Amino acid sequence: MNFVRLKAVARKEVIHIWRDPRSLALAVGIPMLMILLFGYALTVDVDHVPIVVWDQSQTKDSREYLAGFTASRYFDFEGAVDSYREIEKAIDTRRAYLALVIPADFAPRLAAGKSTAVQAIIDGSDSNTAAIVLGYTQAVTVNFNQAVSLNQLQRTLGRPPTPPVDFRPRVWFNPDLESKNFIIPGLIAMIMGLIAALLTSLTISREWERGTMEQLISTPIKGSELIVGKLVPYFVIGMFDVLIAVVMAVFLFHVPLRGSVPLLFATAALFITGTLSQGILISTMARQQLLASQFAMITTFLPAFLLSGFIFAISNMPVPVQIITYLVPARYFVSVVKGIYLRGVGLETLWQDALFLLLFATVAMGLAIVKFKKRLG
């Protein structure tokens, strides 16, 4: 490989980027915009669930039960209703997501030590949210039941009973269970894959469309020198995008970065090299820029979003789909980024993922060089 010719190709690409400031601004601005949009808009947290209540008991006990909902940050009390028709209207108009119906004999049955039924009506149009709201509702009810049972036992025994199990939960890595702490690191991997592939998917096809490829072919430059020379400027831009994403994650979204920063950037370099080479490979196969950009979107963004474990747990997918995820490079980079950010683990734990990223970068660049040589022939 002649480094003089490689440098000349890289310089040519830098001049092209510099003469097209809009593309450079997009290359830097799109990651920032996507992180802002996805970081604030994409969340699986369910807070401030609007509820309405039909309290037919209107007693101290029913108010204590409802206090478990109104005092929680997970529920917002939207008012009282007097009939099922009003409940139906509140849910249909989205004024309420949950409706509680407390029977008239709520307090007398509690005082007699009997079980009493409380109806919870949940909007199930969004099954995931409904399942979470149901869990919140059950948790409030369990706490109320425990408090009532403890009071009854204390009156009987004359002292507070000793609980058989002293349950002390402790959540590691994400103690506040905030979804942004696992969404933002995965978002970095998804965005970097998309941007890197889009940056280079237009390079070769642009040369074909503008008629300058014939001039390059007529020079002594080798395919490997052309490919690497075109990759270098975009690699620098990609790593700068990674730096921006990491800074925004830590200082804007306050996602803890517990692991090794050098390891994070080293694995990011492997991933970006692979996706840049993938973009070059797409560009050599499609001589039209529009077709190349569309194909790059399909082969990077969609697999990364759906099959990388970024949002949807791979273990919950059907077995055939789980097997397909092993072919998605973003799966391994998402695993690395989350491991470094949240768990603070190092290469001794992430070496398999890092090894696959190295393999991906090597194979993608090799295929791009080989495919371009075939084009030259």
CATH number, domain of 127, equals: 3.40.1710.10
Q: What is the pLDDT of residue 357?
A: 94
Closest CA to 354 of 240, 273, 278, 282: 273
SS3 (DSSP) at 103 = coil
Virtual torsion, Cα 214, 216, 219, 224, nearest 10 deg: -130
User: Domain check: are 224 and 323 in the same one?
Assistant: yes
Q: What is the pLDDT of residue 84?
A: 92
| Residue 190, both tokens | 């998804």
DSSP assignment of 48-89 equals -EEEEEEESS-SHHHHHHHHHHHTSTTEEEEEE-SSHHHHHH
Spatial distance between the Cα atoms of 19 and 287, rounded to a whole number of angstroms: 22
Spatial distance between the Cα atoms of 332 and 328, rounded to a whole number of angstroms: 8
The answer to whether residues 182 and 174 touch, using CB atoms and an 8 Å cutoff, is: yes
Q: What is the pTM of this model?
A: 0.78
User: Domain check: are 223 and 326 in the same one?
Assistant: yes
Burial 30-56 (b: 16+ CB within 10 A, else e): ebeebbeebbeeeeeebeebbbbbbbe
User: Domain check: are 38 and 95 in the same one?
Assistant: no
User: Domain check: are 242 and 302 in the same one?
Assistant: yes
Tell me whether residue 230 is in a domain: yes
The residue whose two tokens read 């101290």 is 60
User: Domain check: are 69 and 18 in the same one?
Assistant: no
Q: Pick out the chain residues at pLDDT < 70.
A: 1, 44, 157-163, 166, 207-218, 287, 373-377
User: Domain check: are 146 and 263 in the same one?
Assistant: no
| Residue 159, both tokens | 């002292």
Element (H, E) at 98: strand 98-102
Tell me whether residue 172 is in a domain: no
Tell me whether residue 338 is in a domain: yes
Q: What is the pLDDT of residue 19?
A: 76
Number of domains observed in the structure of the chain: 2
Closest CA to 52 of 9, 81, 72: 81
User: Domain check: are 59 and 124 in the same one?
Assistant: yes
SS3 (DSSP) at 10 = helix
Tell me whether residue 114 is in a domain: yes
User: Domain check: are 15 and 33 in the same one?
Assistant: yes
Tell me whether residue 39 is in a domain: yes
Tell me whether residue 171 is in a domain: no
How many beta carbons lie within 10 A of that of residue 126, not counting itself?
Answer: 12
Spatial distance between the Cα atoms of 262 and 268, rounded to a whole number of angstroms: 10
Q: What is the pLDDT of residue 374?
A: 45
Tell me whether residue 269 is in a domain: yes
How many beta carbons lie within 10 A of that of residue 151, not counting itself?
Answer: 12
Q: What is the pLDDT of residue 158?
A: 67
Spatial distance between the Cα atoms of 345 and 171, rounded to a whole number of angstroms: 17
Q: What is the domain range of residue 307?
A: 3-43+178-376
Tell me whether residue 169 is in a domain: no
Spatial distance between the Cα atoms of 79 and 4, rounded to a whole number of angstroms: 75
| Residue 106, both tokens | 């709520």
User: Domain check: are 255 and 371 in the same one?
Assistant: yes
Q: What is the pLDDT of residue 161?
A: 67
User: Domain check: are 341 and 233 in the same one?
Assistant: yes
Spatial distance between the Cα atoms of 64 and 185, rounded to a whole number of angstroms: 41
User: Domain check: are 235 and 364 in the same one?
Assistant: yes
**Do the strands 49-55 and 75-80 form a parallel or antiparallel pair, or are they unpaired?**
parallel
> Which ranges of the chain does DSSP label H, i.e. alpha helix?
3-19, 21-41, 60-70, 84-92, 106-111, 127-157, 180-201, 203-210, 213-217, 223-247, 261-285, 289-307, 319-325, 329-338, 347-376
User: Domain check: are 80 and 226 in the same one?
Assistant: no
Element (H, E) at 117: none
Describe the strand order of the beta sheet including 75-80 as a list of residue ranges: 75-80, 49-55, 98-102, 119-122
